[in-house]
Amino acid sequence: MSQKSPIKIAVTGAAGNIGYSLLFPIASGQVFGADQPVELQLIEIPQGLQSLEGVKMELLDSAFSLVNSITCTSDGDEGFGDVDYAFLVGSKPRGPGMERADLIRENGPIFVGQGQAIDRSAKENVKVIVVGNPCNTNCLIAQHQAKRVNPRNFTAMTRLDQNRAKAQLAVKSGAAVKDISRLAIWGNHSPTMYPDFENALINGKALTEVITDSEWLSESFIKTVQQRGKAIIGARGKSSAASAAWAAIDHAADWSRPTAAGEWVSMAVTSDGSYGIPKDIIYSFPCTVDEQGEYHIVPDVALSAAAKEKAMKSAEELLAERDAVKGILS
Ligand SMILES: NC(=O)c1ccc[n+]([C@@H]2O[C@H](COP(=O)([O-])OP(=O)(O)OC[C@H]3O[C@@H](n4cnc5c(N)ncnc54)[C@H](O)[C@@H]3O)[C@@H](O)[C@H]2O)c1
């Protein structure tokens, strides 16, 4: 049987908490397939390289048969060289007293440099998944630098929010997570995101007919999903890592295969003006992926007035973020 050609995968911040949880499933074939060899190109800042060597040793010790090579580097051109997928995870975490705007300004330059390195060195059809926060605007920054790559290939991760929302709904309804479909996240990966329960289904039936506690849905559920990241930090003393890594895995895997009939996946992608959301922001929409691995924003989703207001509020936040970084958008 002929073997598939290996694909090259870059992961930035590879020695960090999410990186550590993300690399092993990629190496084991759980993301790109059990017959898909991979070449791992792991990128860290110079201070992270020693720790990254330890991660490499553990990857080697796992004896993954699909891993053809592991490169550890601080050089963007080497790290992104010829890659098919790039997971942009590395960024500075929010420090004490730091506002969101400070975080955007601190992390923006990282994504300028990485966008430029992707432009110079990655495959033209590279698929980029931005996880490092503020991920929507970081994605916009990198995308603006990489003119050689189709802007559609830059996406940011709101899949963790979708997964969190489905899990909350499963607990409330007693249904299994797999029975909940069409639960889409709209907007920014921030507390303004809108988890749309109005269009979700449980076992094919309108979710609102199964969960009839409308106050819980419109208040408690939305708030729980929006504030889940903060709640995890409160409980663990650290930001979510394994669940974020699994969400990145879901995002990448679902972007590489057709979406199951009737299902949607939440992806933050370049707004094309659908639903009145301003263009040229990276906004999470319900999407489907076709046989060619192309995603499409789901058209004609019915949004109530309350839902539209929430969806627009998150867009306004993204416009303000874009404004804060306009000096580094080329
Ligand atoms: N989108 C989401 O749903 C989501 C969820 C959770 C966390 N996050 C974000 O993911 C990011 C990573 O989280 P973590 O827990 O792994 O953090 P971490 O601090 O454990 O790891 C980050 C790693 O990135 C490295 N790094 C920093 N700057 C870099 C650069 N310029 N190039 C390469 N590597 C660099 C650091 O050395 C560190 O090893 C954070 O920004 C976090 O807020 C996003």
Per residue in 89-119, pLDDT (tens digit) is 999 877 666 777 888 888 999 999 999 999 9
Residue 196 pLDDT: 98
- Rounded to the nearest angstrom, the distance between the alpha carbon of 53 and the centre of ligand 1 is 17
Ligand 1 within 6 A of CB of 122: no
The ligand 1 atom at the shortest distance from the C-alpha of residue 13 is 24
Residue nearest to atom 33 of ligand 1 (CA): 44
- Rounded to the nearest angstrom, the distance between the alpha carbon of 45 and the centre of ligand 1 is 11
Residue 2 pLDDT: 64
Q: Quick one: tokens of 78?
A: 């080497």
Residue 238 pLDDT: 87
Ligand 1 within 6 A of CB of 244: yes
**Residue 134: cis peptide before it, omega within 30 degrees of 0:** yes
Residue 289 pLDDT: 98
In this structure, what is the dihedral angle of CA atoms 4, 9, 15, 18, given to the nearest 10 degrees? -90
Q: Which residues are catalytic?
A: 189
CB 89 within 8 A of CB 18: yes
Residue 126 pLDDT: 98
Q: Quick one: tokens of 251?
A: 């995002």
- Rounded to the nearest angstrom, the distance between the alpha carbon of 116 and the centre of ligand 1 is 19
Residue 80 pLDDT: 98
Ligand 1 within 6 A of CB of 139: no
- The backbone torsions φ and ψ at residue 41, rounded to the nearest 5 degrees and listed phi first, read -120, 100
Give this prediction's pTM. 0.97
| Domains of the chain, CATH where assigned | 7-156 (3.40.50.720), 159-324 (3.90.110.10)
Ranges of the chain whose pLDDT falls below 70: 1-2, 95-97
Could you tell me which of 181, 162, 171 has the C-alpha nearest to residue 213? 171
In this structure, the strands spanning 38-43 and 67-73 are: parallel
Ligand 1 within 6 A of CB of 224: no
